[in-house]
Amino acid sequence: MQNLNIKDIAKIAGVAPSTVSRVLNNRPDVNEDTREKILKIMDEYNYIPNNSARNLKIIESNTIGVLVKGIYNPFFSKIIQSIEEKIREKGYSMTLNYNYDDSNDIETAIELIKEKRLKGLVCLGGNFDDLDIEQIQSLSTPIVVASSNIIEKKNRKALSSVTIDNEKAAFEAVDYLCSLGHEKIGIITTGESDRSIGRLRTSGYKKALEKHCIEFDPKLLEIGEYTFDSGYDAMNKLLDKNLGLTALFATSDIMAIGAAKAVLSKGLSVPDDISIIGFDDIEYTSYFHPSLTTIKQPQEDIGHESVRILFEILQEKKKHRHIILETELVARDSCKAIK
């Protein structure tokens, strides 16, 4: 009863292992009676094939991998759904893997490709700037990176990417706040560890201020991380400085919600006292009260486009591409014109 393998099943059924393998893989060239008999035995003995053995032997699979950076990120969840949708539509199957924060993304990616003989891989987030181009190319398995920038020029021909223009989107957010008459605009952004995204969004903030002839005041900037309470704490710090803040740009919705809660908890109003704009458009923003104004990243498109590019490379032998999707300012109830 213990850990039967394909040989055991074959013996019990009185056939060769190869025949068992054929029914396992739904091959058409098996006699129906034989198939039924083997199926029945498998069921009766609770036979479960060993995937490692299968992966080892297989030349290529029909599966596309998805490698997600960070164990818990509501922003990625809708992207994953749209990726899965598209992969199924193409008749492939998907395998979802998570990647710890401290792991080397490109190495994990290659490991996964080799282990599961993937046809292609889409990575959500992660750092793909430090890589060996030849290694990637010799793999001949296309990788597309969604929602992370590939900065290194030379790497851009070895990978594809689907991103947004972070600086421009942040610019729009802050420009919107300025156009509403705000001048004392705080920012909660992510710090050092965030290699590019936080920096780009902060830069967009500064450029928008510049456009409106508002001088950047470092006291209005607080560093947070991707959590509610870092947004909450940062907002309290900002408020305690008594700088006459009337608006806030948070570089992620999660932090924006924490910040909004800090404002509301002090008995102040959003947006009457402080206007807040977030970034991402995760589902929670529309259920928060007041509903948060934010920069919508086209989560569904990011997923769909990533898969589309992957299949272009796979099936039409196209080259790696880098596309930038449009964001959109979604005006809800957390921002208000002043004066």
The interface region with its own copies, picked from 69-77, 173-181, 185-193, 212-220 by CB under 8 A, is 69-77
- Residue 267 found at the interface with DNA (CB under 7 A): no
Residue choice 14, 74, 181, 191 for contact with its own copies (CB under 8 A): 74
Strands (E), 118-225: 120-124, 143-146, 160-164, 185-190, 221-224
Q: 335 with 277: CB under 8 angstroms?
A: yes
Q: 250 with 274: CB under 8 angstroms?
A: no
Identity of the residue, 249 or 288, whose beta carbon is nearer to its own copies in the bound complex:
288
- Residue 225 found at the interface with its own copies (CB under 8 A): no
Cα 314 from Cα 305, distance rounded (Å) = 14
- Residue 28 found at the interface with DNA (CB under 7 A): yes
The number of residues that bind DNA (CB under 7 A) is 30
Residue 31 belongs to what H/E stretch? none
Residue 288: both structure tokens together: 């928060």
Cα 201 from Cα 197, distance rounded (Å) = 6
- Near its own copies in 253-282, by CB under 8 A: 257-258, 260-261, 264-265
- Near DNA in 49-88, by CB under 7 A: 49-50, 53-54, 56-59
Partner that binds at residue 7, options its own copies, DNA, none, CB closer than 5 to 8 Å by kind: DNA
- Residue 337 found at the interface with its own copies (CB under 8 A): no
Cα 73 from Cα 81, distance rounded (Å) = 13
Cα 75 from Cα 253, distance rounded (Å) = 9
By CB atoms closer than 10 A (0-12, 13-18, 19+), residue 246 is: buried
- Residue 3 found at the interface with DNA (CB under 7 A): yes
The gap between the terminal CA atoms of the chain, to the nearest Å, is: 79
- Near DNA in 34-53, by CB under 7 A: 34-35, 49-50, 53
Identity of the residue, 9 or 250, whose beta carbon is nearer to DNA in the bound complex:
9
Residue 295 belongs to what H/E stretch? strand 293-296
Q: 224 with 255: CB under 8 angstroms?
A: yes
The interface region with its own copies, picked from 77-85, 165-173, 214-222, 302-310 by CB under 8 A, is 77-85
Contacts with DNA by CB under 7 A lie at 3, 5-7, 14-19, 21-22, 24-25, 28-35, 49-50, 53-54, 56-59
Contacts with its own copies by CB under 8 A lie at 1-3, 46, 48-53, 55-56, 71-72, 74, 77, 80-81, 96, 98, 107, 110-111, 114-116, 132, 134-135, 138-140, 228, 232, 257-258, 260-261, 264-265, 283-284, 287-289
